[in-house]
Structure 1
Amino acid sequence: MITIEAFRTLALALPEATEEPHFEKISFRIKKKIFATIDEKKNLGVFKFNEIDQSVFCASSEMIFYPIPNKWGKQGWTFVDLAKVPTEMFEDALSISYNTVAPKKR
């Protein structure tokens, strides 16, 4: 289980990550691009994955990770159930989401 505060702490520990509001949610960004959000009311997080990473997380943990059921899900945006996700899996997913959005180093 991941608390909202643990989510925030882990996300903000990533290089250059910032927290900003995004409609009624909390978003975490790198260079103004969102890599994760939190819906406190539903106790859900959202991560941005590429197609392969999304399929791996969703296939291995379909009760924990699942695509957003619309065009955003087809673009890699994926729900994570914060009440069910193990800490290590959450940390891996957060890191992958961050690296998916972060500018590529030259």
Structure 2
Amino acid sequence: MVTIETFRTLALAFSEVTEEPHFEKTSFRIKKKIFATIDEKNNRGIFKLNEIDQSVFCASSEMIFYPIPNKWGKQGWTFVDLAKVPVEMFQDALLLSYNTVAFGKK
């Protein structure tokens, strides 16, 4: 399980990350581009993953990770259930999300 505070601490630990509002959510950005958001109301995170990473996380833990069910999901945006995700798995996905946006990993 990952708390909102743990999510925030881990996301802000990356170089050059800023925390900014994004509609009713909190976003984490690198170079003004969002790589993750917190949806506190639904206790879930949202990550930007590349197609391969998204398919791996969703296939291995479909009750924890799942694509957003619209065009955003097809672009790699992926929900993560914070109540179910192990911290280590969360950290791995967060790092991949950061790298995907910061370095254009495809």
* TM category, shorter: over 0.9
Distance 2:35 2:94 in 1: 8
Cα drift, residue 103 of structure 1: 3.5
* Long gaps (5+) in structure 1: none
Partner of 2:19: 19
Matched, 1:93 2:93: yes
Report matched runs for 1:1-106 at 5 Å: 1-103=1-103
The structure with the largest helix share of the pair is 2
Distance 2:78 2:103 in 1: 20
Q: Deviations over 1:11-51 (max 9, x none)?
A: 00001011000000000000000000000010010000000
Q: Detail structure 1 runs of 4+ shifted over 3 Å in the superposition.
A: none
TM-score after normalising by structure 1: 0.97
Cα drift, residue 71 of structure 1: 0.1
Distance 2:103 2:69 in 1: 27
Aligned-pair RMSD on alpha carbons?
Answer: 0.7
Distance 1:16 1:60 in 2: 31
Q: Secondary structure at the match of 2:41?
A: coil
Farther-moved stretch of structure 1 (83-92 vs 95-104): 95-104
Q: Report sequence identity in percent.
A: 85
Distance 2:103 2:60 in 1: 28
